Structure formats: C-alpha cells, structure tokens
Amino acid sequence: MLNETHDPALRSWVASANSAGTDFPIQNLPFASFRRQGSDEAFRGGVAIGDQILDLAAVARTGMFSGDAGQAVQAGAQPRLNDLMAQGAPVWSALRLALSRALREGAAEQAALKDCLVPQAQAEYGVPARIGDYTDFYTSVHHATNIGRLFRPDNPLLPNYKWVPIGYHGRASSIGVSGQRFRRPVGQTMPPGATQPSFGPCKRLDIELELGIFVGTGNEPGDPVSMAQAEDHVFGICLLNDWSARDIQAWEYQPLGPFLSKNFATTISPWIVTLEALAPYRVAFERPADDPQPLPYLDSEANRRQGAFDIQLQVGLQTHRMREAGQGDASICRTSYRHAYWTVAQMVTHHTVNGCNLQPGDLFGSGTLSGPTLDQAGALIELTAGGKNPLQLPGGESRTFLEDGDSVVLRGWCEKPGAARIGFGECRGTVLPARA
Amino acid sequence: MLNETHDPALRSWVASANSAGTDFPIQNLPFASFRRQGSDEAFRGGVAIGDQILDLAAVARTGMFSGDAGQAVQAGAQPRLNDLMAQGAPVWSALRLALSRALREGAAEQAALKDCLVPQAQAEYGVPARIGDYTDFYTSVHHATNIGRLFRPDNPLLPNYKWVPIGYHGRASSIGVSGQRFRRPVGQTMPPGATQPSFGPCKRLDIELELGIFVGTGNEPGDPVSMAQAEDHVFGICLLNDWSARDIQAWEYQPLGPFLSKNFATTISPWIVTLEALAPYRVAFERPADDPQPLPYLDSEANRRQGAFDIQLQVGLQTHRMREAGQGDASICRTSYRHAYWTVAQMVTHHTVNGCNLQPGDLFGSGTLSGPTLDQAGALIELTAGGKNPLQLPGGESRTFLEDGDSVVLRGWCEKPGAARIGFGECRGTVLPARA
C-alpha cells in the first residue's frame, strides 16, 4: 500500500537526503544500531536520512512524539532494535509517518530534530538486533541449479526444490555488521583423489550474495503464520554475505548440511529497510508456467500478484593491491531479488507451518540470489565455474576464490520512474590470513 | 580429577540426599533455573540436594560465601545461568567445594541454609540458560549407521563419518524444559510412490535420546579451542530429546539438512550435571582398532584415556491409556553414553577449529545415542526398523511411531562400585494433537 510517505516529490530539510544518488532519501528511513566511532557511548537505534543518522535516543529525550510513534521511539532508543521489532506493523508504520512528516522541508520539528543528527561519517554500527535464531534459505532456483551441478553433476536440482522452500539453521554468534574482518577458516577437506582428509586453511573461500530478512513480531509455539499474515511479521530487509568455505563444505555437508563451512562469519549491512519503504518496488512473483504450483498453504493471490521485490543487487571485489593503489572495488555481479523462486511471505509461512516459533530479531537469509544468467550469479563458485574460469580484475589481477586481504562489498537499491530511489548502503567484509 | 567432593562416604544434613536411590546426593550438586510452581516469583538458579532445591538467590542474600564461591552464588542467583557459565571452571569448582562443605552433616552453615531450601515437589523449572546457539551433533556411529541404512540403503555410513564429528545448527527458540507439551507438527511429506507431496500432520513422529552439553566460557571469533582446553569450556550435561518428524525429514533434508522436521520442539532436563560431578565416571574412548585415527587436532592422550562418560540412559514411553490407568512409563531402550564415537572435547574443538565463536549458554546435542545392539537404539525409527516391527507395550498397546497423548521420559544416571550414584532427574515431553 503506497501512502504519503512514498511521494517521490517529498524533500527533507536534511539537504543531503535530496541529492540524486543518495541511498537514504526521506522515502527510505531505514533503521540501524549505532554510536559515535571510537566512543564508549551506548549503542542505540538510528534512522538514516541523507548522510546523517537521526539518533532515536536523542529523539526520545525530546519527548516530541506521542502515541504509537512515541512508543516506537522509546523502543528504538534501546541498544538493539528487538523491542521496536516486537511492536508490530501498525506501530512501525506510525513511526514512519511521524518521522516522514517531521523530516520534511518546512516541518516545525526541524529546530528540535537538527540536534538529534549524527553524521554517518562519524558512526560505528552494531548488529541491529539480538538475533535469537538465524535461518538460511535457498530461494534462488538458479543458484540451486548452478551449485547442485557442481556438487552433484548427475542430480543438480533435487526433486523437493520446487515444492519446499528449503532452509536450514545457521549460526547467530558469528554474524557481524559491515566492516567485519575475519580470519580465513581452517578445517578438514578431502582433496580430489585423496584417500584421507587434509587439514589446513580453506582454499576455496567464497561469498554468497543474499538479503537478510529481520523478523518483527513473533508467533507462539504451535501457532503457524498464514500467507495472509506473513508479511506483518517482517520488520525489514538488509544485505547479507554468507561467506562459505567450499572445500570444507563439500566434505562435511552430508547428511546434515553445511556447518563449519558457513559458521565462521556472516556479514550484514547495518541498515534495515522496512517493507513499507519497499512498497513501491513490489512485483509479481514469476513462477514458470510449467512448474508445479505451490501447495495451498504457500499460495495466495497477493503473493502471486506482488510477492516479489525488485531490489537491484551488486557485488564488488577489492583486492589488497587495489586498495593500496587507491582503487575502488570492481563489480563482479549484478542481479535483482525479483528472480527468487520463493518469496519472503513463503519463507515465514513455511518456517512456522510445523508450529516453530519465531521471535523478534530472528534473521532469515534469502540464500544466494543468483539470477538466470551467469553474470548474475551471486557466488564465485558459480561465476568461475567451480574455479575453472578465473575472473579478470582491473589492474591485471584475477580471482577464482578469495585471497587474503580481499574485501567484498554488497550493495542494494531500488529505482524506477515515478518512485524515489532508495538504497541499502553497503555490506563490506574483509578476509584476514588464517591463524598461524 | 577426583577430590573431596566425590568421596562416596559424604552425607548431607538434607536427609533425602542420603537415600540409596536418589539422583541428587551431595556428590552431584547439579544446577537448574526454577521458581515455585504457579507463583510469579522470578526464576533463579538452584542446586539439587536430595528432594530439595538450594535456592541460590536466597543463599546470595545470606552473604555466607565470599571469594570465587560468593561471586558464583551471585551469578547463580540470576534468572538464567549464563553469567555463572561465563565464570569458568575454577569458579564452578570453588562453588562446588563450598556447597559440598556447607551441605555436609555437621556443617555450621546448616542453620542458615535450611531456610534456603525449596522442595522439588513445589518447583517449576525454566530453560536453564539463554541459549544463543544450539548445535546438534551426530556422535553415535551406531545411530548414523542404523538411520543411514533407512534413508540411504546403498550408502548407510558416509565416508566422512569417521573423520568429521558431523554437526549442524538447530533451533534455539523451541527448546523447552521437561514437561514440555507440543502439538504434533504439520508439514509436507512425499509418500512412497506419490508424484506430488502431501500436506498434513506428521505420521512418523519420533524421539531422539540425546545428551545436551552446555557451553560455559566461550571463545573469541577466530580463536579455536584446542583439545587440551576443550573441557574447560563445558559447564555440564543434561538430558535432551530431539523430537523428529521422520516423514517431513525424509522429504526436506536434501541438500541442506533437517529443518522443520526438528525445529518444532526440543526438550531438555532442568538439571545440568557438571563435568566435575561426572569425574568418577570417565572411561576410555574406545575407537575400533581398524578405524582411522582422528586427525591430530581432534586427538589427545587424555581423550583416548578418559574422553568418554559412562552415563546410563533409558527411554520410557507412557501412552495416554497407560497414564489414565495409573501405569508408569514402559522402558523401550537402555544404553550408555560410553558408546559414542566422538567425545565432548572433540565436539568443542571441532566446532571452533574454523574460528567459530561459542558463547556461555550455547547448547550442543550429542546426537541420538544408540548403542551397538538393537535394544540400545535411541529412536523409534531404529527400534521398529523404520516402522516395520511395532514395539509391544504392557497393557496390550503397540507403537511404531508416537501417537497423540504419548509421553516420553528420558532418564540418565551413573553408578559403579566405590562411587556415589548420581543422576540427571528426568526429561519428559508430551505430544498433543495437531492443530485442527
């Protein structure tokens, strides 16, 4: 549902929010947890506006908002956003409307709110919620087919794929926010032709371009969430890099799934873009005509009509040498979230159909969001055909898998005629050498 | 290391702690989180002694302990035991020694401590820690072989099994404490010979007899825990029932592992028995001579000599009709934890070898602890050969998988000549009908 907060003509008294290329115009208003860099301030919630952060703890101290919006600001002033996430869609919406009005050009609140701004350039970010459980899905049929072909050449797409939104539980403790630096993982691998495993640093360290979906309100054990209710339980979406050690994965993953190949680090963007902000970018969910239709519990007319999101996605790679030369990251993938085979609503409904309880702050990964063509693949193992076709980088370097010192940057944004461009900021992580 | 707290001649001034059959003599002293049943008291830590609970919040108020033991009591007075778990093995040990001395016959502390006792019969229990992440392992080679034969007849034990302590991440939100009642899960299954999946209540609801291992002190990201340090990171062990929907599992588990087939409910015992209490029951870890030796990172002389625990385990089943007739549960399995193929220390070391960070209160499941013979199998799917050979129950009923109203009770204890018998209490859960 579009409303006044989506009007592309809206301008903010925060001038940087009105520049053409910003990720954070007044139509976006995403949430993060932040404090001033290098300070010992408490983390608290903030809302991005242009190149500034509206500090929700400072806003709460003004007492300027009342009712649902006031409650939301109080909750958003906490170090993590779980309390805000628990309050539910009508409260998030009330806060969005109040902030949109207060940040507009000419708003009476400008005088009080300008003292609540912190420049993003001075901020450091925290993981925005206490993540109780992290679930990683597998919603791109293109990724499932590409990677299935490498792991199981005879049997790339398993028979359950088009019926079951495949997911598995991941590790919450090692989720970090953009800027995360982690050591190359060490572990067991079974080299081709070997008769016993080797032990040492991962040789096939990869990325996975994903979106992260933050659960807002939870559900009680035993109470499934229907497709009609599913999106009311979703607070918003961030970028997510599911770093993956492919050689460790190939040896460990049967029969119970990936474990040490994934749980050493997962990086998310600090900013969570709400579903309401994304409303102008809903698109039809395009299941091929000769594929089976979803079982009734996973189907709804609304999901078919506008279950998907047209979020543009890009992966950048910056080697140590590029960084030293002052060179930015090179784009290695461009795709859109619209190509996913299962929607956010289907993830929520499937996850709870057995009675599993979700809690505010739980995080879902979308799974690697590879699009239909090779340059739209969201992992190096796909982009390089399992390491056989290296990527050529500007400056003469090439990559099959990640090397020490490499940084990877995910970016996401939405744009189309007649709507304000909004973005996700970036999700950056850097590989450090393995422990000696 | 045995010390004075293990002396089998010790007697407590709490008379019930001296009865022959008690799970909770003064040599045990396990921890739980509890409050008085039906009250709105805060949960707090307690220590079992005979049929009583020593209320750590009440003990803290006496101010009777100082130093490490005093710090531990303060931490143990919190609603969940995470702070106590974070304090580390020397502190847990100091508390154990102080409590052992204060609860002995003739102790000067008797007068003050008797007011800190709450009868177990009046208590209700909480999940003892805020479980950040739950990892389920697969440490019984007998279970892996039995179940592998049912899911993959041609390929029962996968080639990685004897090299990799297989594990996967599970769901923390749906872990409940003994007494948990949960609805039969609903979901997708692919019946044999069908061309498209069915949807409805699980028809093959099973149990898994496991132990739960609570992490005490954590490790920083990127810092693996060696075999020599591993057990210092373990607070203690409880009973764990990993309820499993086998028909949902068979259809969903490839390629990323079990998900909805497991995450609807997991039940643990309220009491956590410390590794120090279990010290008299350490036994050699018996890897068959012609099996490969573990890679060096998973091997240590101490692990070979006494890496295992001889914990006796039993599963009881009580149907609705048995309960109505006032009949207790019938034993359907008896085994010992000594048959596991991978030890607790190996689980910790493997989990962290890639740099994954553990946190106080994290929980590991051991995996189903089936022993070498069929009557030692810890799951119905094994005990009934995949549902082909029903179990006969006293009173004339039979079972392949669980029916609505069935309760399952796990029990664990240790006994041998020359040491005090100690036990885990029980871990009970009940299946409710599926949601209409």
A255 vs B158: CB contact, 8 Å cut-off?
yes
Q: What are the strands, taking DSSP E only, across A352-421?
A: 363-365, 391-392, 398-399, 407-414
By the 8 A CB rule, do A129 and A85 touch? yes
Q: Which residues of A touch B267 (CB under 8 A)?
A: none
B263 vs A132: CB contact, 8 Å cut-off?
no
Looking up tokens 């709105």, which residue turns up? B40
CA atoms of A183 and B57, how far apart (whole Å):
41
CA atoms of B315 and B409, how far apart (whole Å):
6
User: Nearest residue of B to residue A163 by CA position?
Assistant: B197
- With cut-offs at 50, 70 and 90, classify the pLDDT of residue B154: confident
A187 vs B152: CB contact, 8 Å cut-off?
no
For A396, residues 6+ apart whose C-beta sits below 8 A from its C-beta are none
Sign of CA dihedral A248, A251, A252, A255: positive
By the 8 A CB rule, do A363 and A212 touch? yes
Residue A286 has a pLDDT of: 78
Closest CA to B116 of B27, B44, B26: B44
CA terminus-to-terminus distance, chain B: 54
Closest CA to A128 of A201, A193, A214: A214
Mean pLDDT in residue range B187-209: 97
- DSSP secondary structure, B34-101, as one string: EEETT--PPPEEEEEETTEEEEHHHHHHHT---HHHHHHHHHHTSSSTHHHHHH-HHHHHHHHHHHHH
Q: Give the model confidence (pLDDT) of B214-255 as tens digits.
A: 999 999 999 999 999 999 999 999 999 999 999 999 999 999
Residue A285 has a pLDDT of: 87
Peptide bond into A255 cis (omega under 30): yes
Peptide bond into A288 cis (omega under 30): no
A254 vs B356: CB contact, 8 Å cut-off?
no
Q: Nearest Cβ partner of B169 from A171, A252, A358? A: A171
Q: Give the model confidence (pLDDT) of A347-391 as tens digits.
A: 999 999 999 999 999 999 999 999 999 899 999 999 999 999 999
Q: What percent of chain A has pLDDT over 90?
A: 96
Calculate the CA dihedral of residues A234, A230, B244, B340 and round it to 10 degrees: -10
Mean pLDDT in residue range B129-156: 93
CA atoms of B164 and B146, how far apart (whole Å):
18
A355 vs B435: CB contact, 8 Å cut-off?
yes
B133 vs A254: CB contact, 8 Å cut-off?
no
Q: Can you state the angle between helices A67-76 and A89-102, rounded to 10 degrees?
A: 90
Residue B285 has a pLDDT of: 87
DSSP label at residue A337: G
Give pTM, 2 decimals: 0.98
User: Nearest residue of B to residue A253 by CA position?
Assistant: B256
CA atoms of B212 and B272, how far apart (whole Å):
9
CA atoms of B261 and B186, how far apart (whole Å):
9
Residue B287 has a pLDDT of: 87
pLDDT at B367 over 80: yes
Q: What percent of chain B has pLDDT over 70?
A: 100
User: Nearest residue of B to residue A292 by CA position?
Assistant: B196
CA atoms of A152 and A314, how far apart (whole Å):
28
Closest CA to A329 of A405, A435, A258: A405
- With cut-offs at 50, 70 and 90, classify the pLDDT of residue B105: very high
A151 Cα to chain B: minimum distance (Å): 10
DSSP label at residue A272: B
Q: Nearest Cβ partner of A353 from B163, B186, B353? A: B186
User: Nearest residue of A to residue B265 by CA position?
Assistant: A356
For β-strands B308-309 and B282-283, DSSP reports them as antiparallel
B163 vs A355: CB contact, 8 Å cut-off?
no
Sign of CA dihedral B244, A219, A170, A131: negative
pLDDT at A150 over 90: no
Q: Nearest Cβ partner of B169 from A169, A245, A265? A: A169
Mean pLDDT in residue range A298-310: 97
Mean pLDDT in residue range A37-44: 96
A249 Cα to chain B: minimum distance (Å): 11
| A126-150 per-residue burial string, b: 16 or more CB within 10 A, e: under 16 | bbbbbbbbbbbbbbbbbbbebbbbe
Tokens in use for B253? 């588990």
Q: How many beta-carbon contacts under 8 Å exist across A and B?
A: 204
Mean pLDDT of chain A: 97
- CATH topology for B134-432 is Fumarylacetoacetate hydrolase; domain 2 (3.90.850)
Q: Which residues of B touch A188 (CB under 8 A)?
A: 163-164, 295
Looking up tokens 């796909």, which residue turns up? A382
Angle (CA) B280 B374 B247, round 5°: 110
Q: What percent of chain A has pLDDT over 70?
A: 100
CA atoms within 13 A on the CB side of B359: 15
pLDDT at A154 over 90: no
pLDDT at A43 over 90: yes
Mean pLDDT in residue range B49-55: 98
- The catalytic residues of B are 143
Distances from the Cα of A376 to the Cα of A147, A309, A370, A434, B413, angstroms: 14, 16, 5, 30, 56
CA atoms of B76 and B123, how far apart (whole Å):
17
**Burial (CB count <10 Å: 0-12, 13-18, 19+), residue A95:** buried
CA atoms of A298 and B188, how far apart (whole Å):
11
B355 vs A221: CB contact, 8 Å cut-off?
no
Mean pLDDT in residue range B315-326: 97
CA atoms of B270 and B281, how far apart (whole Å):
21
- With cut-offs at 50, 70 and 90, classify the pLDDT of residue B436: confident
- With cut-offs at 50, 70 and 90, classify the pLDDT of residue B286: confident
- CATH topology for A4-126 is SH3 type barrels. (2.30.30)
How much is the ipTM here? 0.97
pLDDT at B151 over 80: no
Give the type of residue at A209.
L
Residue B372 has a pLDDT of: 95
User: Nearest residue of B to residue A202 by CA position?
Assistant: B354
Q: Give the model confidence (pLDDT) of A50-105 as tens digits.
A: 999 999 999 999 999 999 999 999 999 999 999 999 999 999 999 999 999 999 99
Tokens in use for B397? 């009923």
Closest CA to B215 of B347, B411, B303, B319: B347
B197 Cα to chain A: minimum distance (Å): 8
DSSP label at residue B152: -
Q: Quick check: do B4-126 and B134-432 share a fold? A: no
Catalytic residue status for A320: no
Angle (CA) B408 B139 A206, round 5°: 120
User: Nearest residue of B to residue A294 by CA position?
Assistant: B197
pLDDT at A151 over 80: no
B149 Cα to chain A: minimum distance (Å): 12
B263 vs A183: CB contact, 8 Å cut-off?
no
CA atoms of A68 and A57, how far apart (whole Å):
16
CA atoms of A243 and A402, how far apart (whole Å):
10
Closest CA to B282 of B241, B216, B234, B219: B234
Tokens in use for A17? 């929010």
- Among A145-154, B37-46, B168-177, name the one with the lowest average pLDDT: A145-154
Closest CA to B420 of B22, B60, B143, B69: B22
CA atoms of A431 and A397, how far apart (whole Å):
17
Residue B36 has a pLDDT of: 98
Q: Nearest Cβ partner of B356 from A255, A264, A292? A: A264
Residue A352, classed as helix, strand or coil, is helix
B292 vs A160: CB contact, 8 Å cut-off?
no
CA atoms of A180 and B193, how far apart (whole Å):
49
pLDDT at B48 over 90: yes
Residue B153 has a pLDDT of: 86
A354 Cα to chain B: minimum distance (Å): 4
Higher-confidence residue: A86 or A436?
Answer: A86
Q: How many residues does chain A have?
A: 436
pLDDT at B113 over 80: yes
Closest CA to B163 of A434, A264, A244, A251: A251
Q: Give the model confidence (pLDDT) of A235-269 as tens digits.
A: 999 999 999 999 999 999 999 999 999 999 999 99
Q: How many residues does chain B have?
A: 436
By the 8 A CB rule, do A358 and A233 touch? yes
Peptide bond into B255 cis (omega under 30): yes
Residue A436 has a pLDDT of: 84
